[in-house]
Structure 1
Amino acid sequence: MFLRTESFNDFLKLYPVIAFLTGLHILLWLIMDVFSFPFAVEWKQLGVGNNFLVSQGEYWRLLTPIFLHAGLSHTLFNSFTLVLFGPALERMLGKVKFIIAYLLAGIAGNIGTYAADPGAFHSHLGASGAIFGLFGIYAYMLFARKDLLDQASSQIIGVFIVLGLIMTFLQPNINVLGHLFGFIGGLALAPPLLKNIKPGFFFR
């Protein structure tokens, strides 16, 4: 389920949404942080999350932080996690539902961050809220749709969810609320998204 054995070209064909998002992460990092193209700094500042600016009407900042990252390690870590855990859900849900789940979970994380302190002026960015939304969908499967997972996959998912939540509170400079509300967003989205998925989806 999570073991990637495809060639690069096959991966692009089988999981176009994951491939696009990963490529976008890297492209934006190159444009804004490495090559510093004209206006790149300004573009990044226009895209990062900022509760105070959202309260002033810049509502796009509830979406755009999902695609931006703070440096190479941040970009690679989130991209690797997405490549590891995203393909199974893209295959299960289909491209459209996966995009909806990913974006809405990311937005939920940013709304939760905003609601906790609307006046905060500090910046936040990263795909972690959206990725934790995927974990939320998997968590729903663990408790309510066990028929969609085999035992090995259930154990892997359970371990990563627990580790992810623990590291959320232990690592510095983490948007804790973004992670938690992204996760909750995934949990909330899971029932309608998985409603028509047949048991044993991965074992056919």
Structure 2
Amino acid sequence: MATCAKCGTHFFQLCEDAGPLCPRCLATEVSLQPLRVTPILVGLIVVIYVAMVANGVSFSDPTTDALLAWGADFGPLALRGQSWRLLTSMFLHAGFLHLAFNAWALWVLGRLTERLLGSVAFTLLYLLSGIGGNLLSLLINPLQVSVGASGAIFGAAGALVTLQYVRKLPATALVLRRDLAGIGSFVLYNLFYGFTHAGIDNGAHVGGLLTGLSLAAFVPLPVAQGEPRPQRRTVATFGVAAVLLAFRGTFVWRARAPVAEFGAALKLLDDGQTEAAIQALQHVVTRWLAEARAHYSLGAALLEVRRFDQAIASLRTASRLDSLNTAFANELGIAYLRNDQLDSAIVLFKRTAGLAPRRSYGHANVGLAYLRAGRAVEAITPLRTAVDVDPNDANAQFLLGNAYLATQAFAPAVASFDAALPHAKDSARVYLRRGVAYRLMQRQADARADFEHAVSFGTRVAADSEVVADARRGLAELGPGRRD
């Protein structure tokens, strides 16, 4: 026990260099520090965002691949030797609004925290909180691509809460009291929003908050002039925190070992080694039974090599584990379609359309399955819905044209093919089917022109050899030199 030189209170002294004052008296001696680091951090995240946009990354909605290329956190990569992503992801943002909100929060909360803790302590707290948040994110949701400074910012918010309510610094009464309600609202609103909306990395928020709350309980505070500065305690506090984070990282690495294997399997898929990837994914799903995305990736790989029954089994598991995932339901529908289980395909595509009614592909796939089943009349309604949702969906327009053609509604068929052509990636097949419609309408010159276009465009792509053959048969049926 030590005796306070100012008030005479007996108190427990944590370190030899903590000084002769008890915590209450020491609090009255805390001096506000100059602002150095917060403006640099705000400027740094802005500069990095500008550099990303200048190099072609979307201003408002960056792709996952772009974020990963710049250093986003992603379990399969971070757990396979790219642990530096735990740090770099803190300085990246997924669009202007994301950047603007975090820059504002960092400016408000960072200034308060830095003035109370000092530049060095604040910098270390900021970085350790961000890393701590990313570690918890990896543990909770290792397959989420994560970027943003919010974990570190939550660490600053947590530190301010601890300084006010645990350490009860009078200095904070002057600086914090008017802002504390706003800090609490910031924390609670963002946690609530993260728990109720998809795509928000709440693991990073909670991890950063807990790290900041904990560190601020022990970090030494700058003292008034004349008092000894607790340098050894500063080093010891952050040294212990870094060691504890390292232990936490080791635990995460061990707990999420299948994620690293999953990442290796995905790399095999990217490299075109499908069979090797299938073997790796089969091993992953035996160790990670409840991960829907692992089962989905296995099913998609099996579908690629036409092992339909196995693909369906894996995709059914993925869809059962995540019944609201439109991609899983759609891929299972495709597997059923390719395996000629058309009724099951229709059911799955209808589920896809119901889960994403404002996306055209689900409705279009319902129509495709009906067409494959020879039910062209039933195909028209979902296909019309698809083109209403997205008039530029060339595939939906093409399928609708085929449905009209099958029901002998030739003029609407031609109109649908006309709408498909400006956006079609494979214009040869559109010309072919419109040529068929023209021929049935007895517009022989138009039919001939379209068949010739189909041959011309189709010969440029090896996959269109069947289209070219059909177009040449159409020309032969018209006869040489025949004109309207």
Q: TM-score range by the shorter chain?
A: 0.7 to 0.9
State yes or no: 1:187 paired with 2:213: yes
Partner of 1:15: 35
Find the counterpart in structure 2 of residue 196 from structure 1: 221
Which structure has the higher relative contact order (CA within 8 Å, separation 6+)?
A: 1
Q: CA deviation at 1:25?
A: 1.2
Number of the residue aligned with 1:79: 103
Worse-superposed segment, 58-67 or 144-153: 144-153
Determine the C-alpha separation between the residues in 2 that align with 1:172 and 1:158: 23
- Counterpart in 2 of 1:3? none
Q: Cα distance, 1:28 vs. partner?
A: 1.0
Contact map agreement 1:102 1:134 (CA 8 A) in 2: yes
> 1:154 matched to which residue of 2?
180
User: Any idea what the Cα deviations from partners look like across 1:106-132, whole Å, max 9, x if unmatched?
Assistant: 0001111112244x2x31100000001
Instruction: Show the counterpart of 1:106.
Output: 130
1:166 paired residue number: 192
CA distance in 2, matches of 1:134, 1:152: 17
Aligned equivalents of 2:194, 2:43: Cα separation in 1: 25
Give the equivalent residue in structure 1 for 2:316: none
CA contact (8 A) 1:68 1:127 kept: yes
Tell me which amino acid in the other structure corresponds to 1:149.
T
Q: Is the 8 A contact 1:32 1:44 kept in 2?
A: no
Q: What is the TM-score of this pair, normalised by structure 2?
A: 0.35
SS in 2 for 1:87: helix
| Alpha-carbon distance in structure 1 between the residues aligned to 2:179 and 2:77 | 41
C-alpha distance in structure 2 between counterparts of 1:73 and 1:157, whole Å: 20
CA distance 1:158–1:197, change in 2 (3 Å): farther
Structure 2 counterparts to residues 22-61 of structure 1, below 5 A:
22-36=42-56, 45-61=69-85
Which residue of structure 2 lines up, in the alignment, with residue 9 of structure 1? none
Report the residue type matching 2:155 in the other structure: G
Distance of 1:156 and 1:48 partners within structure 2: 29
Check if 1:145 corresponds to 2:167.
Answer: yes
Q: CA RMSD in A?
A: 2.3
Indicate the residue corresponding to 2:463 in structure 1: none
Match of 2:76, SS state, is: helix
In structure 1, distance between residues paired with 2:44 and 2:221: 30
So what's the TM-score if we normalise by structure 1?
A: 0.79
Larger gyration radius, structure 1 or structure 2: 2
Q: What per-residue deviation string (whole Å, max 9, x for no partner) do you get for residues 63-85 of structure 1?
A: 11000001111111100111111
Question: CA contact under 8 A between 1:44 and 1:68: conserved in structure 2?
Answer: no
5+ residue gaps, structure 1, are: 1-13, 200-204
- Count matched residues: 180
Q: Would the aligned equivalents of 2:90 and 2:147 in 1 still touch at CA under 8 Å?
A: yes
